[in-house]
Structure 1
Amino acid sequence: MFDSTKECAEKLDAQDKLAAFREEFYLKPGSIYMDGNSLGLLSKRAETTLMEVITDWKEQGIDGWTQGKYPWFSLSEQLGEMMAPLVGGSPEEVIVTGSTTVNLHQLVSTFYEPSGTRTKILADELTFPSDIYALQSQLRTRGYDPDEHLVCVKSRDGRFLEEEDIIEAMTDEVALIVLPTVLYRSGQVLDMERLTTEAHKRGIIIGFDGCHSIGAIPHQFSDWGVDFAYWCNYKHLNGGPGAVGGLYVNKKHFGTLPGLAGWFSSTKEKQFDMEHTLTPAHTAGAYQIGTPHVLSLAPLIGSLELFKEAGIERIRTKSLRINRYLMDLLNAELKEYGFTLGSHTDDKRRGSHVSLEHKEAARICKALKKEGIIPDFRAPNIIRLAPVALYTSYSEVWEVVQALKKIMSEKLYEQFKNEREVVA
């Protein structure tokens, strides 16, 4: 029988092998942060490495590009090497550069090669809107009508996607597939290995948006044969607001000219020759475009040190356990209040957040904030709660559910309007 007592939560905290990592983060007193899947918290090490890079700028000036503790000229490659174990790629297949949407534009420009009747891009109707905007604009620049040439796989229930439906849509008209690793609303994990295998059987290149999975679940992009991937680093990897993003390109594609070239696409040895003929790097570095945003790279140095110490497998183990605990608590304490669980209960199909659905979701989120709890709202009716393995305790999860119970039983949400804020 499930134990919903506070004592059980405290016992789980005592057994938590990652508990010490809480001390690495700035946790606001009197507040419980449950929105790390939107913006991760600042770690002390990320702050330290940011200040070290600022010191290099202060003391070295332009020589910071090649001198100092973290020479800026090779920093994107250094971080790619640190990030490679999190995505299951070799160091040369990963580069920290650009932003999610810029990297998507780069990768589609590079790998979308319509030919004959094979002209369509396959995506899905539950993906993040920015990806759809980028795919639509890429089609328009090639002279194609997005209404006809962007195929979005339908969801059967508005929450989840079925791999069978995606595979069925892999017709001989599809030139490129772009899918999320984890659905941003429900937290469903797609079977990336299976989808990649099926795409390649049909001669289709496939890439993934890893924004909601990198730093939360293990990946094996190279072993699975994934062609490319891209992601942000400000969510689970705690790189800070506007952190530089990342991309992966399978080494079998090295030598493919970048669709959007820039001087940081160059091989390092040739970059400052200033020739008007690009000699692209023979690594994922070829898919950089412009000068890296050094001060937005710097916090990732410290953050990725923490991930190396914690280990992505241990992070995933705790994430699954603490999210299971959250779902069990919700089921035990909130049955009578009209909530519906909008996430998979199967561990293999669930990412690192729990989606709770309620018709008063926007008002409930505002009430939670008043109680010192930071959730995330997604229109029209989703409360996303994200216990983060490195800094969320089981006792905090218990407190969140008790606060929800109080809000519902005392109808504290009724003092708020049921509409989102400007930033949800």
Structure 2
Amino acid sequence: MINEDTSQAYAEALDQSDVLASFRDEFYVSDDVIYFDGNSLGLLSKRAEQTLLAMLESWKQDGIDGWTKGDNPWFYYSEELAKKSASLIGAKAEEVMITGSTTQNLHQLLATFYKPDGKRTKMIADELNFPSDLYAIKSQLRLRGLHPDEHLIRVKSRDGHTISEEDVIQAMTEEVAFIVLPSVYYRSGQVLDIKRVTEAAHEHGIIVAFDLCHSIGALPHELSDWGVDFAFWCTYKHLNAGPGAVGGLYVNEKHFGTEPGLAGWFGSDKEKQFDMEHTMIPAGHAGAYQVGTPHLLSAAPLLGSLEMFEAAGIHRIREKSLHLTAYMMMLIENELADYGFVIVNPTDDESRGAHIYLEHPEAARICKALKENNVIPDFRAPSGIRLAPVALYNTFVEVFNCIQILKTIMDEEQYKKFTNERDVVA
């Protein structure tokens, strides 16, 4: 529980009792910068650096033999990463594959498992989803000669920030074949009840996929127990695998044996792959939905990062994350009440992801002022400020200092020297 104590001494006491405090030393952090953008790009850890350097050394020393030699042969690297990722989403190792990118993996899932038939042709998404997911869905509909305006149901938000699970369930009709939803919404940080939505979808004969980009590495999942059909994610946010790092996908074992819609030779049974036959024999597990050769240099840092998650434990990470965000909300309510900030993210632990989402009419210029004061936030147009204190490397004192800096920015009107427009990359 977080107390209504706004003193720095309280923040210091929280840090002293933090069981994950030692993991901060594993990351390249600057004591002069408060980095609260880990929900867009996680910081580099020393373990991730070492596994990347080990990959380079393997290439340097072994050349092409690196595919089969060394501590982590490249030919099986994706499978090794899948084993280490499985516990983070509550899946069996064979149901996971580390491959591709977020959008590429969604394309693969839709190309393989979205099978419009008769009147069951529609897909459900929502109006708050990340644009890339909607681009993929619309393109897959068009490839089948279906118009998105007629065959994509976008569930409306009641408040502009969150999605009601009741409204999602209400949209499930006998015309729907496939559902794609986020586990955590990238703006508001709302956590969707995956189990409830999945059970309702299956009652209506619909299969469902979840985008885990803003939840994997931040909160626990039990995808296999919940009966989830599919999931996909990136690894460069909370998993700290580096910019443009490899993605991941999950396919429930009940769907094994379905031929990949986007076939490529790395989806082959590994015992058969180098037979070079022109008829593909897919792997008998989630590995079937790989396409091309693994991007090993973008996959290597993930190995070191996942080792750290094994040591820290996802449940302890979630517990600290909730404490960090609860503490930040308490300070905002007590210190910034008169400055026009509105907390938009869900405030209860069940529904709150791993970041705080504030709205303010001057959000873009406030974010620029924060950066000038060495606080790294994330702006989301038109008026959103995301602040993500990450359990593995951020501290309660950093949260305290951030709010004090924000208060100073508002008191001194520092933000007024900036334009209230986003930069090219926000």
> Which TM-score applies when normalising by structure 1?
1.00
2:37 counterpart residue number? 35
Q: Indicate if the aligned counterparts of 1:52 and 1:69 stay in contact, CA closer than 8 A.
A: no
Partner of 1:262: 264
- Tell me the equivalent position of 2:387: 385
Mapping 1:161-176, distance limit 5 Å: 161-176=163-178
1:49-88 equivalences under 5 Å are 49-88=51-90
| 1:173-184 aligned within 5 A | 173-184=175-186
Work out which of the residue numbers 246, 249, 273 in structure 1 matches 2:248. 246
Seq. identity, %? 65
- Tell me, yes or no, if structure 1 residue 131 matches structure 2 residue 133: yes
> Equivalent residue of 2:350, what SS?
helix
C-alpha contact 1:34 1:386 (8 A) present in aligned 2: yes
Map 1:274-313 to 2 at 5 A. Answer: 274-313=276-315
Contact 1:93–1:249, Cα closer than 8 Å, also in 2:
yes
Q: Deviations over 1:68-87 (max 9, x none)?
A: 22110000000000000001
Structure 1 residue 29 displacement after superposition: 3.4
In the TM superposition, residue 341 of structure 1 has moved relative to its aligned partner by: 0.4
Partners of 1:69 and 1:407 lie apart in 2 by: 51
Provide the rounded CA distance (Å) in 1 between the counterparts of 2:407 and 2:31.
Answer: 22
1:273-294 C-alpha deviation (Å, 9 max, x unpaired): 0001110001100000000000
Q: Partners in 2 of 1:68 and 1:14 — Cα distance?
A: 41
How far apart are 1:306 and its partner, in Å? 0.3
Question: Aligned equivalents of 2:316 and 2:258: distance in 1?
Answer: 36
Q: Secondary structure at the match of 2:271?
A: helix
2:343 alignment partner, one of 319, 331, 341 = 341
The answer to whether 1:117 aligns with 2:155 is: no
Q: Give distance in 1, aligned partners of 2:275 and 2:158.
A: 55
How far apart in 2 are the matches of 1:252 and 1:36? 34
Corresponding letter in the other structure for 2:320: K
Which letter does structure 2 place at the counterpart of 1:63?
D
CA distance, structure 2, for counterparts of residue 115 and residue 297 of structure 1:
37
Partner Cα distance (1:235, 1:70) in 2? 24
CA positional deviation for 1:253: 0.4
Which residue is equivalent to 1:98? 100
Deviations along 1:80-123, one digit per CA (max 9) or x if unpaired, are: 00000001000000010000000000000111000111100100
Deviations 1:157-215 (A, max 9, x none): 11000000000000111010000000000000000000000000010000100000000
Residue 204 (str. 1) matches residue 192 (str. 2): no
Q: Distance in 1 between matches of 2:173 and 2:362?
A: 41
Q: Given the alignment of the two structures, is residue 365 of structure 1 paired with residue 367 of structure 2, yes or no?
A: yes
Task: Give the whole-Å Cα distance in 1 for the aligned partners of 2:335 and 2:418.
Answer: 23
Say how many residue pairs are matched: 424
Structure 1 residue corresponding to 2:149, chosen from 147, 150, 153: 147
Give the drift of 1:28. 2.1
The CA deviation string for residues 21-49 of structure 1, in whole angstroms up to 9 with x for no partner, is 00000002310100000000000000000
The ranges of structure 1 where at least 4 consecutive aligned residues each deviate by more than 6 angstroms after the TM superposition are none
Equivalent residue for 1:395? 397
CA distance in 2, matches of 1:292, 1:147: 36
Write the distance in 2 (CA, Å) between the matches of 1:293 and 1:364.
38
> What TM-score do the two structures reach when normalised by structure 2?
0.99
d(CA) in 2 for partners of 1:421 and 1:172?
44
The question of whether the paired residues in 2 share the 8 Å contact of 1:329 and 1:401 is answered with yes
Displacement, 1:356? 0.6
Output the CA distance in 2 between the equivalents of 1:217 and 1:125. 24
Secondary structure of 2:287's partner? Answer: helix
Q: Aligned equivalents of 1:141 and 1:282: distance in 2? A: 27
Aligned mates of 1:149, 1:248 — CA distance in 2: 25
Q: Which amino acid aligns with 2:95?
A: E
Q: Secondary structure at the match of 1:348?
A: coil
Letter in 2 for 1:2: E
- Hey, what's the Cα distance between the residues in 1 that align with 2:192 and 2:25? 33
Q: Distance in 1 between matches of 2:316 and 2:32?
A: 28
AA partner of residue 8 (structure 1): Y
Q: Distance in 1 between matches of 2:242 and 2:142?
A: 33
Counterpart in the other structure of 1:228: 230
**1:214-250, CA deviations, whole angstroms, 9 ceiling, x for partnerless residues?**
0000000000000000000000000000000000000
Q: 1: distance between equivalents of 2:405 and 2:300? A: 37
2-structure distance, mates of 1:104, 1:360: 35
1:351 aligned partner = 353
Aligned equivalents of 1:264, 1:144: Cα separation in 2: 30
8 Å CA contact 1:53, 1:69 repeated in 2: no
